[in-house]
């Protein structure tokens, strides 16, 4: 008898060639009709969002379905999974698709965004940057965004998960460019202590990034602000001079276009001049505020972005696109690549085929595999046009001014800060921090509206951050009425 060969063993193993796809035309038809039903329900949800409450507390039973269920070893099927989503997940979001959501800074998405996300998953490309359509789409989106931001058309850049990551990339390139030695090869120990400058109003991404980049928070110089929460420039000049005298190397100023607390913008033109004179990197965090640049009317408020070495901004906030999508633009494309490219053998560029040209985006950031975020930006810009998105941004600024006017005219409420852009911070007159917090929580719990809270000049304030294309004037009338009546309730101790 002949000996059994490995090939015989393969032949004897029963073939199981099932996949995760439906396996018969009938199964495909069922899957397709389930998908149609989900599309219909998604659009029903969005079309009727105004009639629903902004936010509702997760009931205990739902919470445990979502948190405590055991790992499904055997699937319950796509229909059951979808039903569970409709029942347990969809109704209990934070509320940012609702016309009266103005918490933190969030966008509410769009119908075109829903379609784009479906189509991106259909194609499912890995946008590390091949010679393929998805890469071309992202490169084009970056060029469009550079044009909208007043940056050179040949700027480099890429889409990231959000402002935090986009800002981090800008700072990493800035450090590489201005450390004065090869910081990639040598690490921080090889040079003098590096210094980065920002204001007390800068967003927390910067502290996290300084920690992660090994420079530590002590390398971050926090510059004071004036009464309008803008960087104090004399203090900046002095800090740079002091640091140089102490043997440190000032490498970067991180200016903000639209601070998260009040929407203030640093004097970007003056800071650009200082950076130029000091040979420092000029980075602008414009997470939401940079989008004001798209508007001719609002552009003077954020003038100077066009001089940035790098600028980071979100499209999932004031660009109204679905989470997650942020962008960083880098003026010097060569530097951008030099700050990240590795030349790894398994990523080598070919003369022809899908790897022709190398992996563009892998050479521009820390991530390798990336999703097709660019599609929702590309489709939003193509479907709505940049002008329509800009018109919504202008509308939001007008509505914010309207709210500021209502608050100013109210005998019960008062503004907690100036309103330069789209953020309105306010308090109930005579209420202490706890009472203002209580007013905010009741407003949220009743599902009327969702502003958030912050601390302004050491005191709690209710903060309305407006990047919502669905809000109407009447929504702000309703907000003010609700704040006045809940405030009266709280002040009376009810």
Ligand X SMILES: *Cc1c(COP(=O)(O)O)cnc(C)c1O
Of 138, 278, 309, 314, the residue at the interface with ligand X (CB under 6 A) is 314
Torsion angle, CA of 398/401/407/410, rounded to 10 degrees? -80
Q: Which of residues 83-122 bind ligand X (CB under 6 A)?
A: 105
Instruction: Give CA 251 to chain center in angstroms.
Output: 25
Task: Give least dist CB 353 to ligand X, A.
Answer: 35
- Exactly one of 55, 101, 130, 288 binds ligand X (CB under 6 A); that residue is 288
* Euclidean distance between CA atoms 180 and 210, whole angstroms: 18
Minimum distance from residue 199 beta carbon to ligand X (Å): 11
- Residue 349: CB partners within 8 Å, gap ≥ 6? 355, 356, 357, 358, 359
Give min distance, CB of 455 to ligand X, in A: 16
Least Cβ distance, residue 124 to ligand X (angstroms): 24
Of 111-119, 132-140, 282-290, 477-485: span binding ligand X (CB under 6 A): 282-290
Structure tokens at 491: 């002040």
Q: How far apart are CA 275 and CA 282, in angstroms?
A: 6
Residues 146, 264, 287, 329: which binds ligand X (CB under 6 A)?
287
Q: Which is nearer to ligand X, 97 or 164 (CB)?
A: 164
* Binding map of ligand X across residues 205-234, x = CB under 6 A, - = no contact: x-----------------------------
Which residues between 176 and 195 bind ligand X (CB under 6 A)? Answer: none
Counting residues that bind ligand X (by CB under 6 A) gives 13
**Could you say whether residue 138 binds ligand X (CB under 6 A)?**
no
Residue 250 or 326: the one with the smaller Cβ distance to ligand X is 326
Identity of the residue, 243 or 469, whose beta carbon is nearer to ligand X in the bound complex = 469
184, 166 contact by CB (below 8 A): no
Q: How far is the CB of 252 from ligand X (least distance, A)?
A: 15
Selected from 88, 96, 155, 164, the binder of ligand X by CB under 6 A is 164
Beta bridge partners of 460: 455
> Residue 144 CB, nearest distance to ligand X (Å)?
20
Smallest separation (angstroms) from ligand X to the CB of 326: 5
Lay out the site mask for ligand X across 44-83 (x = CB under 6 A, - = otherwise).
----------------------------------------
Residue 125 or 326: the one with the smaller Cβ distance to ligand X is 326
Q: Which stretch binds ligand X (CB under 6 A): 52-60, 161-169, 365-373, 438-446?
A: 161-169
**Residue of 163, 170, 304, 358 that binds ligand X (CB under 6 A):** 163
| Residues ≥6 apart with Cβ < 8 Å to 234 | none
- 358 touches ligand X by CB under 6 A: no
Q: Which is nearer to ligand X, 256 or 410 (CB)?
A: 256
**Quick check: 162 binds ligand X (CB under 6 A)?**
yes
CB of 436 to ligand X, least distance (A): 22
Written as six digits, the tokens of 193 are 């202590």
Q: How far is the CB of 376 from ligand X (least distance, A)?
A: 15
Q: Alpha-carbon distance 342 to 331, whole Å?
A: 21
**Binding segment (CB under 6 A) for ligand X, from list 285-293, 334-342, 375-383, 427-435:** 285-293
Q: How far apart are CA 289 and CA 301, in angstroms?
A: 9
Tokens at residue 366, please? Answer: 């820390």
Q: Does 378 bind ligand X (CB under 6 A)?
A: no
Residues 404-463 that bind ligand X (CB under 6 A): none
Region near ligand X per CB under 6 A, out of 49-57, 157-165, 295-303, 415-423: 157-165
Per CB under 6 A, which of residues 232..261 are in contact with ligand X?
Answer: 256, 260
C-alpha angle with apex 251: 326 to 146, nearest 5 degrees?
Answer: 30
Q: Tell me the window of 73-81, 132-140, 162-170, 237-245 that interacts with ligand X (CB under 6 A).
A: 162-170
CB-based contact 325:376 (threshold 8 Å): yes
What are 54's two structure tokens? Answer: 């902004």
Q: Is 285 in the site for ligand X (CB under 6 A)?
A: yes
User: In angstroms, what is the minimal distance from the CB of 308 to ligand X?
Assistant: 14
Name the minimum Å distance from CB 463 to ligand X: 12
**Binding interface with ligand X (CB under 6 A):** 105, 162-164, 203, 205, 256, 260, 285, 287-288, 314, 326
């Amino acid at each position: 008898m002949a000996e059994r060969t490995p090939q015989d063993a393969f032949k004897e193993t029963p073939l199981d060639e099932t996949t995760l796809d439906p396996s018969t035309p009938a199964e495909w038809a069922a899957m397709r009709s389930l998908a149609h039903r989900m599309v219909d329900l998604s659009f029903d949800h969005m079309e009727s969002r105004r009639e629903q409450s902004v936010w509702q507390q997760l009931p205990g039973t739902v919470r445990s379905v979502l948190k405590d269920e055991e790992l499904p070893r055997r699937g319950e099927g796509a229909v059951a999974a979808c039903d569970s989503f409709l029942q347990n997940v969809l109704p209990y979001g934070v509320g940012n698709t609702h016309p009266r959501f103005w918490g933190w800074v969030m966008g509410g998405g769009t119908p075109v965004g829903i379609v784009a996300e479906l189509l991106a998953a259909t194609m499912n490309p890995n946008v590390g940057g091949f010679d393929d359509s998805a890469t071309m789409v992202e490169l084009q989106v970056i060029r469009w965004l550079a044009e909208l931001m007043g940056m050179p058309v040949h700027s480099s850049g890429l889409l990231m998960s959000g402002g935090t990551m986009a800002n981090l990339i800008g700072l990493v390139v800035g450090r590489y460019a201005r450390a004065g030695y090869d910081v990639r090869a040598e690490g921080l120990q090889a040079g003098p202590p590096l210094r980065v400058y920002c204001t007390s109003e800068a967003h927390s991404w910067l502290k996290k990034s300084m920690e992660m980049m090994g420079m530590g928070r002590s390398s971050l110089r926090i510059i004071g602000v004036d009464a309008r929460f803008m960087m104090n420039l004399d203090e900046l000049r002095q800090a740079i001079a002091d640091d140089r005298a102490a043997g440190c190397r000032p490498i970067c100023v991180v200016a903000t276009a639209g601070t998260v607390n009040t929407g203030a913008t640093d004097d970007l033109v003056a800071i650009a001049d200082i950076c130029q004179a000091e040979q420092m990197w000029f980075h602008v965090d414009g997470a939401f505020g940079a989008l004001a640049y798209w508007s001719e009317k609002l552009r003077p408020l954020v003038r100077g972005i066009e001089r940035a070495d790098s600028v980071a901004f979100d499209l999932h906030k004031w660009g109204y696109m679905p989470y997650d999508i942020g962008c960083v633009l880098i003026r010097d494309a060569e530097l951008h690549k030099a700050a990240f490219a590795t030349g790894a053998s398994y990523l080598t560029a070919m003369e022809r085929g899908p790897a022709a040209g190398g992996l563009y985006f892998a050479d521009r950031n820390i991530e390798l595999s990336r999703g097709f975020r660019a599609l929702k930006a590309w489709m939003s810009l193509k479907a709505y046009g940049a002008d329509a998105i800009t018109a919504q941004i202008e509308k939001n600024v007008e509505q914010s001014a309207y709210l500021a006017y209502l608050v100013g005219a109210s005998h019960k409420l008062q503004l907690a800060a100036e309103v330069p852009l789209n953020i309105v911070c306010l308090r109930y007159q005579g209420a202490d921090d706890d009472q203002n917090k209580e007013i905010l929580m009741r407003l949220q719990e009743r599902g009327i509206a969702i502003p958030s809270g912050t601390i302004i000049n050491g005191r709690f304030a209710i903060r309305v951050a407006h990047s919502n294309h669905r809000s109407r004037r009447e929504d702000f009338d309703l907000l003010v009425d609700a704040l006045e009546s809940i405030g009266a309730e709280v002040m009376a101790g009810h």
